[in-house]
């Protein structure tokens, strides 16, 4: 990449990708429950045009529009699911920071627990096996070798 091109490339990146001023929007609610739902929702919806920000955190135009849309839908009495469906229909599951459980996300959701289970089964069987094997001679040999290696430390340890 030639230098000038690189400069303009970096420049574009800086201008488009960073929304570094806090997105602060004043929304009025009469109902504290609605207010809480609103803030929870915009914290879980992804600003599709941003680098990796929620629509709550971003100052991008689209994030503002989607915040306003969410606000209007909440005020109009829509449920959280209806609002999420509305967003998913337009922007796919990509807008949800909390991915839904379905066939393609099954591994994501149960993978960690399965892994944990396998690891523990492996651990327990391994320890059982270990308990039943007799002590090998390696232990003694190695002990001696290690002691020689660490000897000077012992020498100095007479304080």
Binding to other proteins in span 7-36, by CB under 8 A: 7, 9-15, 18, 20-27
104 binding other proteins? (CB under 8 A): yes
- Closest distance to other proteins from the beta carbon of 30 (Å): 15
Asked if residue 81 binds other proteins (CB under 8 A), the reply is no
Closer residue to other proteins (CB): 79 or 150: 150
- Of the candidate residues 34, 44, 75, 78, the single one contacting other proteins (CB under 8 A): 44
Rg of the chain in Å (alpha carbons): 29
3-state secondary structure 105-118: HHHHHHHHHHHHHH
CB of 77 to other proteins, least distance (A): 19
Q: H helices within the chain, ranges in order?
A: 3-17, 32-42, 61-75, 80-91, 106-132, 137-149, 151-155
Check binding of 67 to other proteins (CB under 8 A).
no
**CA distances to 10, 44, 101, 108, 124 from 113, in Å:** 42, 23, 15, 10, 17
Smallest gap from Cβ 81 to other proteins, in A, equals 15
The interface with other proteins within residues 105-144 (CB under 8 A) comprises 105, 107-108, 111-112, 115-116, 119-120, 123-124, 127-128, 130-131, 133, 135-136, 138-139, 142-143
Residues 6+ apart with CB under 8 A from 49: 60, 62, 63
End-to-end CA distance of the chain: 64
Can you tell me which of 65, 79, 85, 106 binds other proteins, judged by CB under 8 A?
65
């Amino acid at each position: 990449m030639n230098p000038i091109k690189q400069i303009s490339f970096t420049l574009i990146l800086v201008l488009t990708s960073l929304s570094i001023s806090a997105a602060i929007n004043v929304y009025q609610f009469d109902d504290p429950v609605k207010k809480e739902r609103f803030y929870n929702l915009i914290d879980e919806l992804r600003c599709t045009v941003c680098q990796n920000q929620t629509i709550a955190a971003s100052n991008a135009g689209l994030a503002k529009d989607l915040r306003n849309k969410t606000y209007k839908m909440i005020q109009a009495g829509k449920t959280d699911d209806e609002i999420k469906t509305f967003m998913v229909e337009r922007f796919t599951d990509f807008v949800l920071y909390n991915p839904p459980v379905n066939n393609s996300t099954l591994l994501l959701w149960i993978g960690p627990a399965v892994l944990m289970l396998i690891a523990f089964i492996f651990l327990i069987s391994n320890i059982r096996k270990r308990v039943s094997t007799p002590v090998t001679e390696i232990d003694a040999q190695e002990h001696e070798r290690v002691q020689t290696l660490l000897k000077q430390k012992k020498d100095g340890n007479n304080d």
